[in-house]
Amino acid sequence: MNADKIPDIIVGRLPVYLRALQRLSEKGIQTTSSQELGDIVRISAAQIRKDISQFGEFGKQGTGYSIPFLIERLKDILKVDRVWDVVIVGMGDIGHALARYNGFANRGFNIRMVFDNDPQKVGQKVEDFEILDMSMMAEKIKQNKIKIAMLTVPATVAQEVADQLVKAGVKAILNYAPLSLNVPAGVRVQHIDPATHLQRMTYYLD
């Protein structure tokens, strides 16, 4: 199957495999098996073999997967063999946590600018970032051709801000506001919604 046509459901698992492989690599481990990887990510070995076989032949029966090779291939497929500039919009608790998080750089992302519309926050520093006024947001995003935004504004204004982001050229929004954003075709949205994740686990509780 062509890498351009990987089903969305498989695309969603590839970053999880990549994260686990990078952890193994950091420990100096060079090869792994679908069984070992499956134990880490809690997906069946058969599913992992099937997913990975979608985009080529990796590993040989009995010798397992080469971790560096698989990491390289996954990065290439997910397009994180490059570094993407990202903006954070909304500098509340979550915005601060994201700005301070140092785990983006080695996974393909560079926080480029952070925005808020609160005059008390604009001009303040968070880590190395000066909080910029949201009135400058569209212009700055256009100028810098930024395609990715993390949206951590209150739910009441999230759709309005998302509209501005899309108009400025953003094509991917990581949405922390607890609502479904309406965006045009060609724009991707992922939700980070703790209640949804919790509900996925209560199914299995007694």
Q: What does the per-residue mask of binding to its own copies show for 25-64, with x meaning CB under 8 A? A: ---------------xxx----------------------
Do 48 and 20 meet the contact criterion of CB atoms below 8 Å apart?
no
Taking CB under 8 A as the criterion, the residue among 36, 54, 94, 133 binding its own copies is: 94
Task: Name residue 62's amino acid.
Answer: G
Q: What's the rounded Cα separation, in Å, for the pair 93 and 95?
A: 6
Q: Give yes or no for residue 19 binding its own copies (CB under 8 A).
A: yes
Do 179 and 155 meet the contact criterion of CB atoms below 8 Å apart?
yes
Do 176 and 195 meet the contact criterion of CB atoms below 8 Å apart?
no
Taking CB under 8 A as the criterion, the residue among 148, 158, 165, 166 binding its own copies is: 148
Q: Give yes or no for residue 201 binding its own copies (CB under 8 A).
A: yes
User: Within 110-139, which residues bind its own copies (CB under 8 A)?
Assistant: none
Element (H, E) at 194: helix 194-202
Q: Work out how close the CB of 59 gets to its own copies at its nearest, in angstroms, rounded to a whole number.
A: 20
Taking CB under 8 A as the criterion, the residue among 9, 57, 119, 156 binding its own copies is: 9
CA 151 to chain centre: 12
Identify the CA nearest to 160 among candidates 89, 94, 93.
89
Can you point out the beta strands (E) in the chain? 31-32, 65-66, 84-89, 109-116, 125-126, 129-133, 148-151, 172-175, 188-191
Taking CB under 8 A as the criterion, the residue among 20, 48, 87, 162 binding its own copies is: 20
Total of chain residues touching its own copies, rule CB under 8 A: 60
For binding to its own copies (CB under 8 A), which residues are involved?
A: 6, 9, 11-12, 14-16, 18-20, 23, 40-42, 77-80, 84, 86, 92-94, 96-98, 100-101, 103-104, 107-109, 147-148, 150, 171-172, 174, 178-180, 188-205
